[in-house]
Amino acid sequence: MQILLVDDEVELTGPLSRILSREGYQVDVAHDGAEGNHLASRQHYDLLILDWMLPHKSGLEICQTLRSQGKTTPVLFLTAKDTIDDRVAGLDAGADDYLVKPFELRELLARVRALLRRPPTLETLLPSRLRVEDLELDLENQLAHRGVRKIDLSEKESQLLAYFMRHPNQLLTHEQIHNYLWGEGEKPSSNALAAQIRLLRRKIEAEHEAPLIHTVYGKGYRFGGEADEAGDG
């Protein structure tokens, strides 16, 4: 089981990560919200343990970003905030459990075990190998194949292509794709999505190959079979 621990108190994360490792968990540690958000968004974890107050990006914002991306990884908040309003805010942001500092170690371990015992979510059951028409994606290795042609993909290109391939022939709006790739908390440039689409098209739509990504003008994109309202841009 893979756990991400995000807390800026080194005197806490050091001993806690060692104890969790002795319990048989694989633990990654981040000491600020920006690093924690990057790891949580790019890698698969079975559980996130987040401090509420973090430099650069709060645990609350990390949780909100993940939920906006459709990620259902269990989240346990560690925090000194103990009012009812604080608890409600954490749960509303998508947290699964809440532990107030200072806490007993055995209670933390019990809550970790309880969260990890939950049935697998849809996200963890999604296949990492996808196929639509003559295009196949190996998401774990960031590789695609179209016919005999091998296509190396960046991490963001892999995420974008997987999102398209899991929703073939569906209209995906600009907002849906943007929130999936970057979440509500990140603010890429205004043309970031269009740039990602162009890069991906160049890789998966070589000369003489049928187009797979179709622009639905003013709305978004559709992947796979082209519909009447789709354009070529």
Q: Note the pLDDT tens digit of each residue in 215-225.
A: 999 899 999 86
Please check whether residues 12 and 116 belong to one and the same domain.
Answer: yes
Please check whether residues 148 and 212 belong to one and the same domain.
Answer: yes
pLDDT at residue 129 in the model: 80
User: pLDDT per residue over 120-144, tens digit each?
Assistant: 554 554 556 888 889 999 887 889 9
Please check whether residues 66 and 177 belong to one and the same domain.
Answer: no
Please check whether residues 170 and 58 belong to one and the same domain.
Answer: no
Rounded CA separation 110/203 (Å) = 47
CATH code of residue 220: 1.10.10.10
The maximal CA–CA distance of the chain, rounded, in angstroms, is 64
**What is the count of structural domains for the chain?**
2
Packing angle, helices 10-22 and 105-116, rounded to 10: 60
User: pLDDT per residue over 65-85, tens digit each?
Assistant: 887 776 788 899 888 776 667
Please check whether residues 187 and 208 belong to one and the same domain.
Answer: yes
State mean pLDDT over 11-16.
Answer: 88
Please check whether residues 92 and 159 belong to one and the same domain.
Answer: no
Please check whether residues 203 and 105 belong to one and the same domain.
Answer: no
CATH code of residue 31: 3.40.50.2300
Please check whether residues 132 and 201 belong to one and the same domain.
Answer: yes
State mean pLDDT over 51-71.
Answer: 83
Last residue of a domain, one of 95, 124, 153: 124
Which amino acid type is present at position 131? Answer: R
pLDDT at residue 176 in the model: 86
Confidence of residue 29 (pLDDT cuts 50, 70, 90): very high
- Tell me the pLDDT of the chain averaged across its residues: 83
Last residue of a domain, one of 124, 145, 166: 124
Closest of 56, 89, 59, 88 to residue 76, by C-alpha: 59
Please check whether residues 133 and 63 belong to one and the same domain.
Answer: no
Which amino acid type is present at position 26? Answer: Q
Percent of the chain with pLDDT over 70: 84
User: pLDDT per residue over 38-51, tens digit each?
Assistant: 898 878 889 999 99
pLDDT at residue 213 in the model: 95
Residue 96 has pLDDT above 50, yes or no: yes
Closest of 148, 174, 184 to residue 70, by C-alpha: 184
Which structural domain, as residue segments, surrounds residue 203?
Answer: 128-231
Last residue of a domain, one of 94, 124, 154: 124
Please check whether residues 119 and 187 belong to one and the same domain.
Answer: no
pLDDT at residue 73 in the model: 86
Percent of the chain with pLDDT over 90: 33
DSSP the chain: -EEEEE-S-HHHHHHHHHHHHHTT-EEEEESSHHHHHHHHHHS--SEEEEESS-SSS-HHHHHHHHHHTT----EEEEES--SHHHHHHHHHTT-SEEEESS--HHHHHHHHHHHHTSPPPHHHHS-SEEEETTEEEETTTTEEEETTEEEE--HHHHHHHHHHHTSTT-EEEHHHHHHHHHTTT----TTHHHHHHHHHHHHHS-TTSPP-EEEETTTEEEESSPPTTEE--
Is the peptide bond preceding residue 119 cis, with omega within 30 degrees of 0?
no
Please check whether residues 217 and 142 belong to one and the same domain.
Answer: yes
Please check whether residues 63 and 160 belong to one and the same domain.
Answer: no
pLDDT at residue 137 in the model: 92
Query: Considering the entire predicted model, what is its pTM?
Result: 0.54
In degrees and rounded to multiples of 5, residue 76 shows phi and psi of -115, 120
pLDDT at residue 229 in the model: 46
Closest of 42, 97, 49, 33 to residue 71, by C-alpha: 42
